[in-house]
A = this chain, B = another copy of it.
Amino acid sequence: MKDVARQAGVSTATVSRVLNDQPNVKLEVRAKVLEAIEALKYRPSRVARRLRTNSTHVIGLIISDIQNLFFTSVTRGIEDVASRNGYSLILCNTDEDLDRERVYLEVMHDENVAGIILASASETGHDPELYNSHIPIVALDRLIKDVPLDTVLVDNVGGAKTAVTHLLSIGHRRIGLITGQQHLTTGRERQEGYEQALKEFGLAIDPVLIRRADFRQVAESRQQALELLTLPQRPTALFTANTMNTLGALTAIQELGLRIPDDIAISTFDDIPWASLLDPPLTAVPQPTYALGKTAGEMLLARIADPDRPPTQIRLELQLVVRESCGAHRRMNMAAGASQ
């Protein structure tokens, strides 16, 4: 920067003004500075700038499973908003580990990022002080209790209820559930939706039919599905609460040689990728992942711009997608099918 100033015959202060598009720089001086910058291939240091101004354009993103298409798709949404507004992303993967999450939150703080988007590994969260730094935090996909944060979620209860109601409406009365961790909003609320749907049909909740399998673990989900499907009184339908739960269930169904939908119906939360390749295709409640990310990004930018606005919570609505198999598919041999 000094070099640029010397080359242009001005002070570093003027160079800084040009860099930051401030007024009060004569047009010809500005041109001269620009020229010098060009000639010297000068690039300002973001680090120095960040030190001086307390934070520049970096957003920290803390997610719990980078191999989950749900989160990468969300990330894509955030990234687009970020890069469109001149922000870069620091991505961290906690692997659902609360300790790693805490470390990353501290790192983000030490990096002095402009803001954080956090898909927390637990609703319980950490000491409140960790959230009370001057750095804005948006909670993504999962609530954090007792802390008034901006939050963007999907309507887990409603979505699950819709999917289960669909199974009920086509006649199923004994429906198994495979859902994820109870300390996650997603795992808990999707079970809540399942239960609400059953209650509305006047059915009792049978604890035997309610199974839990880590949202990351296909193998665990498979195991739970195997148990459900070998019950003396086998359920006639399954509702699975995320993609891994679904894949595990499909694997189990396959291993047991059951046919969909004749032997067992299935509907799922959180679409499985390339579901259309299946025949009959899977009935699912897909999540608006990209929109989730976009919303979270925009919320964070809004809060950065105005730290004093009241905390907002947004819940995105979900829709059931009932996929019908069409004639062309009929000759194909497919892996799994819809509930109908």
Question: Is the beta-carbon distance between B331 and A334 smaller than 8 angstroms?
Answer: no
Q: Tell me whether A90 and B89 are in contact (CB under 8 A).
A: yes
Are A43 and B109 touching (Cβ within 8 A)? yes
Size class of the contact patch on chain A: 35 or more
A67-81 interface with B by 8 A CB criterion: 67, 69, 72-73, 75-76, 79
Q: Which of A66, A112, A247, A255 has the most CB of B within 10 A?
A: A66
Contact B66 A79 (CB under 8 A): yes
Min CB–CB distance A111 → chain B (angstroms): 5
Chain B residues in 8 Å Cβ range of A92: 79, 88-89
Does A302 make an interface contact (CB < 8 A)?
A: no
CB-contact partner of A328 in B45, B76, B250, B255, under 8 A: B255
A161-169, A271-279, A307-315: which lies at the B interface?
Answer: A271-279
Tell me the complex Cα distance, A254–B279, Å.
9
Copies held by the complex: 2
Per-residue interface assignment for chain A, residues 126 to 146, with 1 indicating a CB less than 8 Å from any chain B CB and 0 otherwise: 000100000000000000000
Q: Which of B50, B79, B106 contacts A93 (CB 8 A)?
A: B79
Query: Which residue of chain B is the closest to A247 with respect to CB atoms?
Result: B274
- A208 interfacial by beta-carbon distance below 8 Å: no
Question: Is the beta-carbon distance between A259 and B332 smaller than 8 angstroms?
Answer: yes
A251 within 8 A of B: yes
B110 near A332 with CB under 8 A, answer no
- List chain B residues, Cβ under 8 A from A335: 277-279, 332-335
Query: Given the interface contacts A46-B111, A112-B46, does A333 sit within 8 Å of B334 by beta carbon?
Result: yes
* A110 and B46 within 8 A (CB): yes
Find chain B residues with CB under 8 A from A90 CB: 88-91
**A333-B330 CB under 8 A given contacts A72-B67, A110-B46:** no
Provide 26 A-B residue pairs closer than 8 Å at the C-beta atoms, listed in order of the A residue: A45-B51, A46-B107, A46-B112, A47-B50, A47-B111, A66-B75, A66-B79, A67-B72, A72-B72, A75-B93, A79-B92, A88-B90, A88-B107, A89-B90, A91-B91, A251-B277, A254-B277, A254-B328, A254-B332, A257-B328, A257-B330, A277-B335, A279-B333, A332-B335, A333-B335, A335-B335
